[in-house]
Each structure stands twice: as C-alpha cells, then as structure tokens.
Amino acid sequence: MKPSLTAGSTHRFTYRVPENKTVPHLFPEARDFQIMPHVFATGYMVGLMEWACMDMIRPHLEEGEGTLGTLINVNHTAATPPGLTIHVDVECTDVKGKLLRFNVKAHDGVDVIGEGRHERYAVMWDKFTARVSKKAAKAGVAA
C-alpha cells in the first residue's frame, strides 16, 4: 500500500440498479429467492459496498496488489426497486499497515438503504493465488 490512503478520506460511488440485481437473481437455484419481490438484494448491496471501498482504494495500491474483504457488518433497512440509483458513501476510518477499515452508507435517492462497517486487507495477488492453488491441490480440486 502506498501511504496516500489515510483515515478521514472519503469517496462516493454511484450505481443504477438493474433488474438482474434483484432478489430472484441471487442464487437462481434457490426457490426461496425466486418467490421474493424484485428489489435490490442484500447480497448485492454488500457487494456494492465492497466495490465502493475497492474503488476508493485502487489509486493507493502498489503494482500487483489488491484487497480482500475480511469483515462486513451492515444493515439493510429499505427496499430499492430496479431503476433507482444508489450512492454509496465511504469513509476510511483506519489504516493499520495492510488492514483498512471503512464506514459505508448507501442511499437510493429516497431512503438510506443500508450502513455499517467494512474491513479489507491488502495482499499481493501472486502470493494469494499461490496459497489458494496449494489449498485446492490439497483438497483435490482445480483452482
């Protein structure tokens, strides 16, 4: 990590919700999801919050470096139909070496739809991929 990312830094990420990010598209093989309303899925909201943090972090990474989500603790308090635009506001609250902490808050133009905390950890992709490959080989599956 470059030393340029600091606590107090903020970022806004914007995303228009398409139909294919609604609950029935989350694990299409799960009938329980199939019968639910067509609103932005919690699983996709979590991913959107992670994406917003990754977008903030990207300019501060070294060549070959990336980040992994290690903690997410958020609520999902309002339904969002497709077509609305979500703004995710991110604030970096702590940088401790490779550990990065964030407050995240998402708003769909009508309601705050979710907020909470997220942590990411910086890794070198080549080292991480090697560990995953070793684990897959030990388990007898392809990485």
Positions annotated as catalytic residues are 42, 50, 76
50 within 8 A of 118, measured Cβ to Cβ: yes
Handedness of CA 116, 3, 97, 53 (dihedral sign): positive
Residue 37: how many CB atoms within 10 A of its CB? 9
Residue 12: how many CB atoms within 10 A of its CB? 11
Distances (CA, A) of 73 to 30, 82, 103, 105: 24, 24, 10, 11
How do 10-16 and 85-96 pair as beta strands? antiparallel
